[in-house]
Amino acid sequence: MSKFLKFTLAAGFAISATAVFAGDFGLGRPALPEEIAAWDVKIMPDGRGLPEGSGDVWTGDEVFAENCAVCHGDFAEGVGNWPKLAGGWDTLDHEDPLKTVGSYWPYLSTVWDYVNRSMPFGNAQSLSNDEVYAITAYILYSNNLVDEDFTLSHENFAEVEMPNAGGFIVDDRAETEYAKWTGEPCMENCKDEVKITMRARVLDVTPDVEEAEAAEAEPVAVAVAEPEPAPEPEVAAVDPALIEAGEKVFKKCKACHQVGEGAKDRAGPQLNGVMGRAAGSVEGFKYSKALMARADEGLVWNEETISAFLANPRGYMKGTKMGFAGLKSEEDQAAIAAYLSSFAD
């Protein structure tokens, strides 16, 4: 090692040691209050930290459609595997609950803060404060938590109550459970007996003994008289121009509903043969409790009932899962009814 290198290393160590013992590295400076404030952007559950601003549901509808719908759907129902932001009410006690803003999130501040920090995907922090308020208002509306004329602002933010605000408990595992996870683990004879406490039915890997036994039983032949075929209902001719107009209006519905050959259920049921059909009767589709209650009352979809529903979905059926705001034009309502009548089962 050269004398120069020895001297350089010794000098470096001496300088480092002096800086450490002096408690001052000579680097940087204390952050200014305004610099700290620029980074301190957290929003508290009671609204502390919110900037001034406001946004209404209908502005939120437009901003959401432009920036969010490509992933989260036009009505916050989710696209593909992207998160659903609306729905899931009454599912938290299910084996596979749908956790959305409306069904699960306890604080509205989390919505505002997350949208403001991280959305839209790939273009984070491009939204103004008013746009974030508007999007948050629209998400509330999509979850049936506010009316269509609602405006959210920093002034009324804390007044919004989330349905699942009381659904969480304090994490007390440090006091109640940590002691069980420390110390030497038990390696043998840890329990007096071993027994099955749960079966993996959620994964459909546990055979159902009763069903298996029933399948093995000999079927009993029972003679059943063939019912007389019901007469085909007379269908009035529909103006082709009205059907064509309805096809254009139906573009607003295609995010959730399908019609035509191969139509399948999506966020909403397929609508082939919906005209004249009893409400809530598409096999395999999980309807809302609100719709099934109306179905039990004998609701049948026809031009009158569909038009009334589409005019104001949430006013006509409080608690409906459909997030669509509605068709205000009677011409559009009639066009949709005509278009749907052109699709049989």
123 pLDDT band (50/70/90 cuts)? very high
343 pLDDT band (50/70/90 cuts)? confident
211 pLDDT band (50/70/90 cuts)? low
Task: Say how many C-beta atoms besides its own lie within 10 A of residue 287's C-beta.
Answer: 18
218 pLDDT band (50/70/90 cuts)? low
pLDDT at 234 over 80: no
Cα–Cα separations (whole angstroms), residue 316 to 63, 264, 265, 294: 26, 25, 22, 10
pLDDT value of residue 285: 85
Tell me the sheet residues that pair with 278.
300
pLDDT tens for each residue of 134-188: 999 999 999 999 998 999 999 999 999 999 999 998 899 889 888 878 878 788 8
**Can you list the positions of beta strands (E) in the chain?**
54-56, 151-153
The CATH homologous superfamily for domain 240-341 is Cytochrome c-like domain (1.10.760.10)
Q: Assign a CATH topology to domain 54-159.
A: Cytochrome Bc1 Complex; Chain D, domain 2 (1.10.760)
pLDDT value of residue 325: 66
Task: Say how many C-beta atoms besides its own lie within 10 A of residue 153's C-beta.
Answer: 15
Q: Which comes out higher in pLDDT, residue 200 or 340?
A: 340
Tokens of 316: 């006509």
Sequence spans of domains, the chain: 3-38, 54-159, 240-341
Answer yes or no: same fold for 54-159 and 240-341.
Answer: yes
